[in-house]
């Protein structure tokens, strides 16, 4: 969030709060100074949703509805507008979604996970967002590195990519990746060393598979963030992709995050699924047809 936007947000919040308590006016300058200086006393927004509707006609029904969806229902209103806390939470979620797309993955994270870093042909985020093809192939330098150093002829190659959410990678991969690798090892399924692809699209897995000659490639990629969560991850799997590969050839598991399928559980499930794909020698629609027989 830009500094000007932050100042405007702070001022709007104080106007709303002053309507409720004029005595707060004397603290405004100090509060703004604290925000600018990183004060230790921060406003805490609990993760558990709070009902904002005063005296609902059917409280139990509203509570059940709120528990079943991350949508912003039951937040109440102040006149024709949402309440201050709801508005602030909306802006926080909006900023988190923006940051998930635009920020770079932490170098410390990549070092900790021991992931080699490859690069697609996208030179920057602007090109990645505007030109889909630029994220579907490795750049020449990364392709040469993978040809020289990648593990060849393995059953599975794991590809990790920021996609549209670096937050999803940093939140889920530390638990998901070890769970997935352990599950593959227990099934005697060989796997190549995982690689991280910066600014990668799903189809970059086809290019990688053509270089390392694996049987199955799985891409763990950040999903497009929303206001419910910016940390959702998807897993795309395909058996021996080639020039004729289409989207229906891919098996997809999505909504991997702490509020959906937890990453540890997802890792174990993906290992089972990869074992079945290898057994059936098919993925996507063809795999589903074989399973239904």
CATH code, domain carrying 79: 1.10.30.40
Residues 97 and 116 placed together within one structural domain of the fold: no
Domain boundary among 102, 122, 137: 102
**Which CATH number covers residue 112?**
3.40.50.11240
Residues 157 and 13 placed together within one structural domain of the fold: no
Residues 168 and 242 placed together within one structural domain of the fold: yes
Calculate the alpha carbon distances from 210 to 138, 139, 214, 257, 274 in Å. 11, 14, 8, 30, 18
Domain boundary among 42, 71, 102: 102
Q: Assign 270 a pLDDT band (cuts: 50, 70, 90).
A: very high
Instruction: Return mean pLDDT, the chain.
Output: 83
Residues 263 and 148 placed together within one structural domain of the fold: yes
Asked if residue 170 belongs to a known ligand binding site, the reply is no
Domain housing 10: 3-102
Q: State how far the Cα of 173 lies from the Cα of 26, in Å rounded to an integer.
A: 47
- Beta-carbon neighbour count of residue 266 at 10 Å? 23
Residues 160 and 266 placed together within one structural domain of the fold: yes
Number of domains observed in the structure of the chain: 2
The pLDDT score that the predictor gives to residue 97 is: 62
Domain boundary among 39, 69, 102: 102
The pLDDT score that the predictor gives to residue 132 is: 87
**Helices 84-102 and 3-20, packing angle to 10 deg:** 170
Q: State how far the Cα of 229 lies from the Cα of 227, in Å rounded to an integer.
A: 6
- Beta-carbon neighbour count of residue 201 at 10 Å? 21
- Beta-carbon neighbour count of residue 261 at 10 Å? 21
Phi and psi dihedrals of 204, rounded to 5? -65, -20
Residues 163 and 260 placed together within one structural domain of the fold: yes
The residues, any chain, with a CB within 8 Å of residue 5's CB and separated by 6 or more, are: none
Residues 162 and 245 placed together within one structural domain of the fold: yes
Residues 146 and 251 placed together within one structural domain of the fold: yes
Asked if residue 223 belongs to a known ligand binding site, the reply is yes
pLDDT tens figures, 107-145: 899 999 999 999 999 998 888 888 989 999 999 999 999
Q: How many helices (H) and strands (E) does the chain have?
A: 11, 6
- Beta-carbon neighbour count of residue 188 at 10 Å? 8
The pLDDT score that the predictor gives to residue 40 is: 45
Residues 88 and 213 placed together within one structural domain of the fold: no
Residues 111 and 249 placed together within one structural domain of the fold: yes
SS3 117: strand
Strand partners, 239: 216
Q: In what order do the strands lie in the sheet with 156-161?
A: 117-119, 191-198, 156-161, 216-222, 233-239, 251-256
pLDDT tens figures, 63-107: 888 777 777 778 788 888 877 777 777 777 667 666 656 678 888
Q: Which residue has the higher pLDDT, 292 or 116?
A: 116
Q: Assign 12 a pLDDT band (cuts: 50, 70, 90).
A: low
């Amino acid at each position: 969030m830009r500094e000007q936007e932050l100042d405007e947000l702070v001022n709007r919040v104080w106007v709303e709060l002053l309507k409720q308590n004029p005595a707060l006016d004397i603290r405004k300058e100090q509060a703004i100074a604290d925000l600018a200086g990183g004060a230790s006393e921060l406003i805490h927004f609990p993760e558990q949703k709070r009902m904002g509707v005063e005296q609902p006609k059917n409280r139990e029904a509203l509570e059940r509805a709120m528990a079943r969806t991350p949508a912003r229902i039951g937040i109440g209103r102040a006149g024709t507008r949402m309440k201050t806390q709801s508005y602030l939470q909306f802006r926080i979620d909006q900023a988190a979604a923006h940051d998930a797309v635009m920020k770079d993955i932490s170098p410390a994270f990549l070092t900790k996970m021991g992931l080699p870093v490859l690069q697609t042909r996208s030179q920057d985020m602007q090109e990645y967002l505007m030109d889909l093809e630029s994220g579907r192939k490795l750049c020449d330098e990364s392709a040469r590195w993978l040809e020289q150093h990648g593990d060849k002829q393995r059953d599975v190659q794991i590809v990790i990519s920021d996609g549209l959410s670096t937050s999803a990678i940093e939140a889920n991969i530390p638990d998901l990746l070890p769970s997935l690798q352990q599950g593959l090892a227990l099934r005697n399924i060989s796997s190549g060393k995982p690689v991280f692809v910066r600014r990668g699209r799903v189809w970059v897995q086809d290019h990688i598979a053509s270089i390392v000659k694996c049987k199955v490639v799985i891409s763990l990629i950040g999903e497009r963030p929303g206001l419910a969560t910016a940390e959702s991850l998807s897993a795309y799997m395909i058996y021996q992709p080639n020039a004729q590969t289409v989207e229906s050839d891919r098996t997809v598991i999505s909504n991997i995050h702490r509020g959906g399928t937890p990453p540890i559980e997802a890792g174990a499930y993906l290992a089972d699924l990869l074992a079945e794909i290898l057994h059936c020698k098919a993925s996507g629609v063809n795999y589903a047809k074989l399973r239904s027989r």
